[in-house]
Each structure stands twice: as C-alpha cells, then as structure tokens.
Amino acid sequence: MTEKLSQSHAEREYIPGLGKNFLTPLYDVAHHVFGLRPIHQTMIRLAELRDGHRVLDVGCGTGNLLRTTGQQHRNVDLVGLDPDPKALARAERKARRVGLTVRLDRGFAQELPYREGSFDRVFSSLMLHHLDSASREALLAEVRRVLRPDGLLVLADPVFDEHGHDHGHGRGRRQAGMRGRMGEQMRGNVGDAVSRRIAAAGFTVEPTRTMALRIGGRVGIELAHPSGSGRK
C-alpha cells in the first residue's frame, strides 16, 4: 500500500515503514522484535562521527537511529527526513524525551531539500527497499550532491541471494516480501546489486558487511565515500 504526500513542488507516493499507514504506531515494536538496534550501532561506529559533524538520516522513520546517534555523540548536528508525518511526529516526541535537538523534515529521498555539500555523513537505514529503481538512482545522486567531498554514506538494507533467500541465521528462507511491489524492489537487493548501484552513482564502496536480524533475514551495510575525494 502506498501513501500520497502533496507538496508544492511534487506529488509522490511512498511506502510507509511497515507497508501500511495504520501500522506505523507499531513500528518501534517491530524495531525491537527484529533486532535492529545492533544494525544501527554498527552504522554509527562505521560513520566515525566527530564533534561538529552534520548528519542526515534519509528515511529516518520514527527516529531510532537519530536518537541513538545523538545520545552517543552529543555534539553532532542531526537532521532527519521522511515523507511519513506520523513517523516524524513519533521521532520528534522521542528526541524531545531524551533532550535532543533534531531537525525533522517532511520530504523525499529523491529530492533532498538541502544545499550541495552540506552534510558530513548520510545515513540510510532500511529505506532503500521502499524505492523503485529510478527512485534509487535519484536518491544516490542526491546523496552524492549533499555530501561533502570527504563525507561518508552509511546505508543498510536487506540482502538476498538470487533465489530470494535471506539466509537469516542460516535458515535460507524465501522472504514473503519478495512478492508484490515490494518484492520487485527487493530484487534490486540481490547479491552485490546495492553496492554496485552505489558505485555507479560515483562512490567508492567498501566490501559489504552483513548482519543477521534476530527475526527475518540479513542486512547488508554499505560504507561509501564520494569517488575522487582522496580518502582511502
């Protein structure tokens, strides 16, 4: 199911966090059950954050990654973007509860409302599979645009083998998610397809790190920097 967001400059559809709008209030329960926290911890470690960094979380949902980042790095500047107003409202409440200042913007990954070279780090956690092929391309071009030349992209998304198996905890189950519209998009997550796509958008990508979820399958974590930045 998709939701529509009208903006003055664009009208796009999007797939909410749990696939349906009415399920968004349950997103944080799912986050806990699937065991996403260790994925977020790994993303934060890979980002090598320093005081003064400006960090964008594209598709921030209910703000779990932003909150953990802010709790561990009090002196970074946090920005989250998501099209889902319900998710953003939860993110706002959660940040306030732990005394964090976070800028939250309603918008789309394909059209980031930020200036060129205005972020040191861009996170994207479990959002890519919500996008079709053209939107993925637009997202990566936008991330390349808003990242500083010495910046880093840290992106996590499910990974499957060519038969649609996720190999979570060695079981090699076929994902129910491989059916329907989401299933078509998941085919863009087979093997090293995500890493190749990031490289094609002008990034140098480290070998994919994979982690198993507590329930469900495996998540691939990509660490990439703009090519030509001189970073090794």
Ligand X SMILES: C[S@@+](CC[C@H](N)C(=O)[O-])C[C@H]1O[C@@H](n2cnc3c(N)ncnc32)[C@H](O)[C@@H]1O
Pattern 181-210, binding to ligand X, x per CB under 6 A? ------------------------------
65 counts as binding ligand X under rule CB under 6 A: yes
**Shortest distance, CB of residue 7 to ligand X, whole angstroms?**
12
- One of 21, 54, 78, 82 touching ligand X (CB under 6 A): 82
**Shortest distance, CB of residue 86 to ligand X, whole angstroms?**
9
β-bridge partners, 156: 125, 221
155 counts as binding ligand X under rule CB under 6 A: no
Task: Identify which range of 14-22, 176-184, 189-197, 207-215 contacts ligand X by CB under 6 A.
Answer: 14-22
146 counts as binding ligand X under rule CB under 6 A: no
- Which residue in 66, 15, 65, 79 sits closest to 36, CA to CA? 65
Task: Identify which range of 126-134, 147-155, 168-176, 208-216 contacts ligand X by CB under 6 A.
Answer: 126-134
- One of 14, 119, 160, 203 touching ligand X (CB under 6 A): 14
Query: Tokens 């500083």 belong to which residue?
Result: 148
Q: What is the DSSP string of 144-184?
A: HHHEEEEEEEEEEEEEB-TTSB--GGG--PBPGGGSHHHHH
HSE-CB for 213 with a 13 A CA cutoff: 24
- One of 56, 61, 142, 203 touching ligand X (CB under 6 A): 61
Those residues whose C-beta lies under 8 Å from the C-beta of residue 19, and which sit 6 or more positions away, are 1, 182
31 counts as binding ligand X under rule CB under 6 A: yes
**Shortest distance, CB of residue 15 to ligand X, whole angstroms?**
5
Integer CA distances (angstroms), 69 to 38, 50, 121, 127, 153, in order: 12, 11, 12, 18, 15
- Whose Cβ is closer to ligand X: residue 127's or residue 224's? 127
Contact between residue 64 and residue 40 where contact means Cβ atoms under 8 Å apart? yes
Dig out the tokens for 124 from the structure: 């994207």
HSE-CB for 201 with a 13 A CA cutoff: 25
* Phi, psi of 228, deg, nearest 5: 85, 5
125 counts as binding ligand X under rule CB under 6 A: yes
- Whose Cβ is closer to ligand X: residue 23's or residue 190's? 23
- Whose Cβ is closer to ligand X: residue 141's or residue 228's? 141
Those residues whose C-beta lies under 8 Å from the C-beta of residue 128, and which sit 6 or more positions away, are 136, 139, 155, 157, 188, 189, 194
What part of residues 85-114 is at the interface with ligand X (CB under 6 A)? 87, 108-110
The binding site for ligand X (CB under 6 A) comprises: 14-17, 31, 36, 58-61, 64-65, 82-84, 87, 108-110, 125-127, 130-131
